Structure formats: structure tokens, C-alpha cells
Chains A and B, each alone.
With several copies, the nearest count.
Chain A
């Protein structure tokens, strides 16, 4: 099996789907030269500027354009660069892309992929580091995935492109250059199943995106301390694969949700609420959540370190949950 970088997984997914299906098009700022991270580099040379459309800085209108192309039969992939800028495109995303199928009584279909890059890495500050996924889980009509590795970056992006609904595709800047093995190029995974990364018996850690790797590190440390943690990589943030979560918690009786986003009102809240609704009698302790404090993302590296959860915190929290 080959090893590729997360960023290459993304590029390969787009390339393969563009080859396979001429209705796939790409829109976004600076996509012609590949964007700030090079994900789309080379595409315009290969597929031409009618399929790879380098746009002005006009987020709401690009989102609307992609939607208007989707309902007329295209499969647009739109790149919003930093998720912080999706704040400029919320009206088109939420009022049109997410609702057109419903409002039209099923007449319209919106096969649209919205690529969003996020994460607090490198001290880029409060307007280039947010984790906003919690907003989108609350919007009916949208789907959302967040790959933690190159293999999922490749596979889930292909699945998202083939899906007939708008899919938010959350990429973590801090994972772009991570390398992982990729599977047989023929397989395209399901868009909405969680994955057990590390099996375990004492505690279920539910997480996604970059925090998966903090959890994996924590699990190794916890194992040494005699605590067997099961790590679930959600992969799909909307819908949630509750079956996998609940089955795990029914075995471990303990659940901890970890994400990089601010804890308050984050995805962890929904997961916690759902777990206790469906597995209340199996829980030996409350579902706990780890995430960022209630503050904008600070620029200072020292403060950023204090802001983002890490393996050490996970270990400490798990130990407190399981007890001595």
C-alpha cells in the first residue's frame, strides 16, 4: 500500500472524480494556482478554466453560484479556504443550498461539496483558526465529514463528490502534510460511518479530525496506566453514526468527547446529550467533554497551546473519570 500526504489524498480525490465525471467542477479563490496549500495545483492545466474556476473574493456569491450550478446538473466542489470566511457565505449555504431540495418539495437536488480548512495551528489568530462545525450540524439539509488521515481525505472526498446533497468537507490545516497509507483505489467508503481507531474496554473516547491523534497518543499512555480506551473517529459529523457510539459506550460505560472547538455549544454537547438519552442506564459516570475554553483563538503561541486540547489533558480527564 502506498503512503501519501493528506493533501495529496484531497488532490487525488478531486482528480479522479473529475476524470470520472465531467459534471464535477471546482470553484474558489486562487484555485488556479492551487490555493495557499496547493491542493488544487495543476487542475486548471488539466481540466481547463471552464471546470476549474478561479473566483474573485466573493464568498456568498461563489457559494450561490456553486448551488445554482448544482441544481442545473453540475457537481461543484467549492473551496472556501479558511472556514472563518464561510461566515460570509452563510446565507447562500443555509438559506439556499441546504433548503432548496426541501423548499422545492424534492424537485431540486444540490450535489455540492464545500471544502473548508480549519484548526488552530501556528498562531494565525482568531480569524483564521476557528472550528465552526457545530453550526452546521444544526442545519437540516447539510451533511458534514472531517477526515483525520490521508486515506479518509481521499475516500471521503470521493464519496462526498458522489453524494447528492451538500456536504461540508472539513480539512484540518494541521494534518495537511501528515502521511498515511491509502487503500485500494477502487473503494469509495460510505460517507456516514464512524471508525473504531483503537479498540478498548474501559472508556470510549469520541473524537474527529486532528484530535484523533491526540486521543491515540493518550490511549497509548492510558494503556500503560492500565486503562483501556476505545477511540472512535467519527469521520461523519452530520449525520452522526450513533449506533457505533452507543454500542461502544454500552461496553465501556464511560464516554469522553474531545474536539478542538470551544466546548460550550460544540458538537460534544449533541453527542453527550444523545449518548445519555440512549445509553443512560449503561453510564457509570457523566459523559465528559474536552475542547477549547470559551474564548476566541489567541495568536500567541503560548496561549494557543493553552487553548487547544491535547493528549495530556485527555489522559488526565480519563483518569479522573475511571478513578484510581
Chain B
């Protein structure tokens, strides 16, 4: 589950691929559950947003991308990055602010980067990576690569998102705009932040391709993301892939969640993407109950390795506080 994934020679919808996807979903889930636990124990600091319940989107999109394609995240991107092969050790150490973190402890949860895997950056500024993605797409289109960028329903209210829809369509940039529509911007439900029913309708004025999918149906996300990646690579321009999903935890670790009902959360717990994907694979005979248990265990073990790595890692030296400001 670490190192560069390479699906060459692996059939598009083979069991082996799907099992790997499920394994990655477990890795993300275990990682983030442990992150919450570590926050509560004060072993991690910072403002931490987890995407528990949204792993299907992360893994579906990552699986559709080629190794040389670029990815941009949001403030809630542990899963986006792990799905694409980010090193759990470096990520965990980064969240703790250790010198072995992927960003040497300078970034933190909202500002993770792993440039070797073309994980170009996450951001604490809602919608902030969308223009970055467009700029990288200027480069990617010369290389035959594609850029995917995540954003939320809340981000669709930022002006810059619309500026980018215009420019991406004007120049037919190879960009996949992945909307994780989880129905909330912080504590504000979508119905209170816009009259629009689906974020992807914003593409219509620009005749932009778009697709709405059940974001908790991992294979549906994969399929939609593949179409979008192919379109982008073939010069067909940008696509909005709107994934309808839900965050099962609070907006940030520590959120008292006064703004939503337990019922609603329960209902969505029933649609847990990991559970759903597992039953698809089990029904198909692609995994046994034992396989699944092993996956979970191996994910947890991998996460414990990361925790150990983090705990044993040194802090950055105080004297280095102003390093990396300039070239």
C-alpha cells in the first residue's frame, strides 16, 4: 500500500484493482480515526479537518488518474493525498509538526504537499487551489497530463471558482474539477448558502461538461473521474465531477456539531462508502470477509507505523524557523 502505484497491465475493473481501492479506503479511514484520537490526546496540534465518510471520492478520483497527473486538495485533504499514494509516515509527522513531516513541519494539516507524487498542495483558503490547478494545467497540457482539483459546496460561492470556470472553458484546460458536495460549508447547510440545487449547474453557462455522481459509490466516482480524465487528456477541456457525499464527523476535530441532527448523521452512516464498496466486492466474490478483516488490520498496522515514526521523529530546530522562506 505504499510506493508508486502502477496500474499498467491491471485490467480496468479487475478485482485486483478494486481490492487495492478498498485497501486504500481503509488506510484513509484508519489514518483519520487515529488522527482524531491523537488530537484528543494532544499529540497533534493545529486545526484539523477529517474526511471520514468521503473516502469513496478520494479513492475513486485517485484511481482514475495517471502517475504523472497533478492533484490539488483543500483544507480536508489527508484522504485525497493518501489515496494517491502519499507516504503516511510523512503525513502523520507533518500533522505533528515534526522535522520529518512531508513539509518539514512548516505546513500542517491544511498545507500538505508531496511534490514527488505530484500532490501539489492543499490549502486553508476555501477555493484557493482552483486557480493554482488552472495554472498547472497550462503546463500539463503541454505534457499530455491532467490536473485534478478538489473543492466543496461552500467553495462554489467564492468568486474565484467562477473566474476559473470561465478561464478553464475559455482555454479548454485539462482540468478535472472535483466537487465534494457534502451539503455543508462549515456549519451552514447548502440551502442556506445558495439557491442552487447542484454545484455542477454552475458549469452550464460555459457549456462545461459535468456529471453528478453518488460520492459514496466508489465505482461510480471512478467511472465519472475516468471520463473526465480522458476528456481532459484528449483536449476536450474541463469537467465538473460533482460527488454527493457527507462528512460523518464534525467540520473540524472538536466541532460540537450543534448545527445538524443526529438522525441525519445516522442516515448517512448507513451509506458509509467503505461498507458499500465492501458489499459490492463481496457480492461479486472479489473479497471474502477475511480479506476485509485483513485489509482493515493491515491499514491499522500501517497507521501505527506512521504514528511510531511520527513519535520517534525529531522536532525541527527552533533556529530553523526562518528557513525555506526564499530560494
A–B contact with Cβ pairs below 8 Å: the answer is yes
10 closest cross-chain pairs (CB), A and B: A68-B135, A64-B131, A299-B108, A300-B97, A105-B104, A300-B105, A56-B157, A68-B132, A58-B163, A65-B135
- B319 partner residues in chain A, CB cutoff 8 A: 306
Q: A125-B108, A128-B124 are in contact. Are A301 and B97 (CB under 8 A)?
A: yes
Interface presence of A305 (CB below 8 A): yes
Within 8 A of B (CB), among A43-85: 50, 53-58, 60-74, 76, 84-85
Interface pair A104/B115, CB less than 8 Å apart: yes
Interface presence of B46 (CB below 8 A): yes
Chain A's nearest CB lies how many Å from the CB of B126?
5
Interface pair B111/A58, CB less than 8 Å apart: no
Q: How far is the CA of A302 from the CA of B130 in the complex (A)?
A: 31
Contact of A65 among B115, B131, B327 (CB under 8 A): B131
Interface presence of B150 (CB below 8 A): no
Within 8 A of B (CB), among A107-158: 107-109, 122-128, 140-141, 143
Interface pair A306/B45, CB less than 8 Å apart: no
Contact of A299 among B97, B127, B159, B171 (CB under 8 A): B97
Q: A58-B157, A64-B135 are in contact. Are A123 and B45 (CB under 8 A)?
A: yes
- B46 partner residues in chain A, CB cutoff 8 A: 122-125, 299
- A304 partner residues in chain B, CB cutoff 8 A: 97
Chain A's nearest CB lies how many Å from the CB of B289?
41
Within 8 A of A (CB), among B57-111: 70, 96-98, 101-111
Question: How many residues on A have C-beta within 8 angstroms of the other chain's C-beta atoms?
Answer: 73
Contact of A54 among B123, B127, B192 (CB under 8 A): B192
- B126 partner residues in chain A, CB cutoff 8 A: 57
Interface pair A303/B125, CB less than 8 Å apart: no
Q: Which residues of A contact B (CB under 8 A)?
A: 25, 29-30, 32-33, 36, 50, 53-58, 60-74, 76, 84-85, 88, 91-92, 95-96, 100-109, 122-128, 140-141, 143, 163-165, 293-296, 298-307
Interface pair B158/A58, CB less than 8 Å apart: yes
Interface pair B102/A105, CB less than 8 Å apart: yes
Interface presence of B7 (CB below 8 A): no
Interface pair B107/A104, CB less than 8 Å apart: yes
Interface presence of B227 (CB below 8 A): no
- Could you give 20 example pairs across A and B, Cβ below 8 Å? A33-B187, A56-B188, A61-B159, A61-B164, A65-B132, A65-B167, A66-B135, A67-B135, A71-B132, A74-B139, A100-B121, A101-B326, A105-B105, A125-B109, A127-B111, A141-B326, A299-B108, A300-B101, A300-B315, A306-B319
